[in-house]
Amino acid sequence: MRAGIMGRGILVGIMVAGIFPVYVAKAQAAPRRIEITAKRFAFEPGEITLKKGQPVVLVLNSKDAAHGLRFRELNVDIKVGANGTKEVQFTPDKVGDFVGHCSVFCGSGHGGMTLTLHVVD
């Protein structure tokens, strides 16, 4: 009898242990998705504010030629083909203003194609 109660207890314990991580995983918020449009020779939006330590997904959509978006200091580099979409997830780990540049040569105004990330606490 005692062995039966113990067995049932262990079974319930195993079930709870198995289900609990699922709830924990569901409780975590999905990373914020930010859509960015790249078109010769500008990004839209041109400025984005992020929170330090909060994961985000940057989704880069090209509306014409191949483009890229690189933040050297944040170790982020996305490259997208002509009229394509590419995304990258990252977590900003430092506060400050970071200027990203188009990292795929796209023509005469390529050098002025920038996007500023404001990372705040």
Partner 1 sequence: MGRLLALTILALGLAGCKANPAGKVETKTMTFAKHHIFVGNKSQTNPLPSNADTWADGKEAFSHYCVACHGADGQNTGVPFADHISPPIPLLNSKEVQSYTDGQLKWILDNGISPSGMPGSKGTLSDDELWSIIVYLRRLPPAGSQGVPDIYTH
Q: Where does this chain bind partner 1 (CB under 8 A)?
A: 70, 72, 101-102, 105, 108-114
Q: How far is the CB of 46 from partner 1 (least distance, A)?
A: 15
Nearer to partner 1, 51 or 101 (CB): 101
Nearer to partner 1, 70 or 86 (CB): 70
Nearer to partner 1, 92 or 98 (CB): 98
Q: What are the C-alpha distances in Å from 29 to residues 32, 33, 45, 54, 63? A: 8, 12, 24, 10, 30
Q: Are 45 and 36 in contact (CB under 8 A)?
A: yes
Q: Are 110 and 65 in contact (CB under 8 A)?
A: no
Nearer to partner 1, 7 or 107 (CB): 107
Q: How far is the CB of 101 from partner 1 (least distance, A)?
A: 4
Q: How far is the CB of 60 from partner 1 (least distance, A)?
A: 17
Q: Among all chains, which residue has been given the structure tokens 């709830």?
A: 23
Q: How far is the CB of 50 from partner 1 (least distance, A)?
A: 20
Alpha-carbon gap, residue 50 to 92, rounded angstroms: 8
Alpha-carbon gap, residue 86 to 17, rounded angstroms: 37
